[in-house]
Structures are given as structure tokens and as C-alpha cells.
């Protein structure tokens, strides 16, 4: 749960990061910036701000904002109604993002899961994305990501997005954010 004030501050902050990244939004889009706390009520450490540009039955594009050190928690995209799970490409536009996916564990991962939630992070193959760099996450592959110290703006190009079907490693997580 987040307060209305937290939501408003996060929307303003996300808009400011997008502006720094040179990304223009319409006034309507600014109103629709989504703030996700994943039900943990620790927005500063576990959270994500996003704007969905388009999401049809076939494809989707979003802009993701992470504040400095903010983490989008570990999850995967399962098949839905017989269709393969969501496939997504993350392209860093501004700042730096540390992406962790299934695969060989980094000897010394540069970033850590949010304190107190370590048990719910299981994949540590590290991919660091700076502006202009990208990585594709195939369906059903577990992943989580965290912004560097300046925050990050990341474009997501994907198949249809149905966040409500995402499977999170942390059983405490609820994808829908409640605003107090």
C-alpha cells in the first residue's frame, strides 16, 4: 500500500526522469503513470513506475522508470490460455540498470536484493545495461532488475502484457498497488 502523497510524488519523480531521458509524454499520459509497490509498502526499495504506450492482443510498449537503487522484484511470465508467455526486450535509455536473469551466477553480483527480501531472489546472472544497450528476456525466464545510483529509464518492447498473470518468487507480492 502507498499513500496518495507517495503516489503523487512518484508520478512527479517519474515524469522528471523521463524528461531527463528526453522522452516526451502527452498530458493524458502523465496522468496515467502507474506506480507499483508490489504490495510490499516499501516503494523506495521495491517498486516501479511505468507508462504503457500501447498494449494490444499482439504487442506492447512501455517506458519503465526506476528511482536510484529501486528494484523490480523477481518474476516470470507464464503461458496464458495456451499462448506462450510474454517476451520482452529491455532497452536502457538513461542511467544504468542491473538486470539479473536465469543463467550462470555472477561471481560477485554488483547489486543486492532489497534488505530483508533476500530469500525471494534466486537468479543472479548479471547483465548491466547502459544507454543504448538492451537485452531480451524470453518467456518463463525468471528475472529481476535494479537501477544504479542515478536511477534508470528503460524502454520495454514486448508481446501482449498481462501483468496480473506474472508469477513472483516472493509469495508476499501482490501486483496491484493499493493507494491509501
Residue 128 φ/ψ, nearest 5 degrees? -100, 125
Q: Single out the residue of 23, 97, 98, 103 nearest to residue 63, CA to CA.
A: 23
Binding to a copy of itself (CB under 8 A): which residues in 1-30? 21-26, 29
Binding to a copy of itself (CB under 8 A): which residues in 82-121? 84, 87, 89, 91, 93
Rounded least distance, CB 24 to a copy of itself, Å:
4
* Largest CA-CA distance found in the chain, in angstroms, rounded: 45
Q: How far apart are CA 11 and CA 79, in angstroms?
A: 31
Q: How far apart are CA 112 and CA 150, in angstroms?
A: 16
Nearer to a copy of itself, 93 or 143 (CB): 93
Binding to a copy of itself (CB under 8 A): which residues in 119-158? 131-134, 136, 155, 157-158
Write out the three cell numbers for 66: 526506476
Considering the rule CB under 8 A, would residue 31 count as an interface residue with a copy of itself? no
Q: Which residues bind a copy of itself (CB under 8 A)?
A: 21-26, 29, 53-54, 56, 58-61, 84, 87, 89, 91, 93, 131-134, 136, 155, 157-159
Amino acid at each position: 500500500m502507498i499513500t496518495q502523497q507517495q503516489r503523487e510524488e512518484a508520478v512527479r519523480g517519474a515524469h522528471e526522469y523521463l524528461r531527463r531521458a528526453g522522452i516526451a509524454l502527452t498530458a493524458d499520459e502523465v496522468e496515467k503513470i502507474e506506480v507499483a509497490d508490489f504490495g510490499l509498502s516499501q516503494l523506495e526499495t521495491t517498486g516501479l513506475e511505468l507508462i504503457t504506450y500501447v498494449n494490444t492482443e499482439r504487442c506492447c510498449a512501455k517506458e519503465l522508470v526506476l528511482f536510484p537503487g529501486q528494484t523490480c522484484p523477481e518474476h516470470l511470465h507464464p503461458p496464458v490460455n495456451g499462448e506462450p508467455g510474454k517476451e520482452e526486450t529491455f532497452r536502457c535509455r538513461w542511467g544504468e540498470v542491473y538486470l539479473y536473469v536465469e543463467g550462470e551466477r555472477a561471481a560477485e553480483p554488483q547489486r543486492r536484493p532489497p534488505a530483508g527480501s533476500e530469500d525471494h531472489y534466486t537468479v543472479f546472472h548479471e547483465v548491466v545495461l547502459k544507454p543504448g544497450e538492451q537485452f531480451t528476456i524470453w518467456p518463463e525466464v525468471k528475472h529481476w532488475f535494479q537501477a544504479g545510483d542515478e536511477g534508470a529509464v528503460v524502454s520495454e518492447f514486448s508481446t501482449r502484457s498481462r501483468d496480473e498473470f506474472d508469477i513472483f518468487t516472493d509469495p508476499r507480492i501482490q501486483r496491484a498497488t493499493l493507494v491509501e
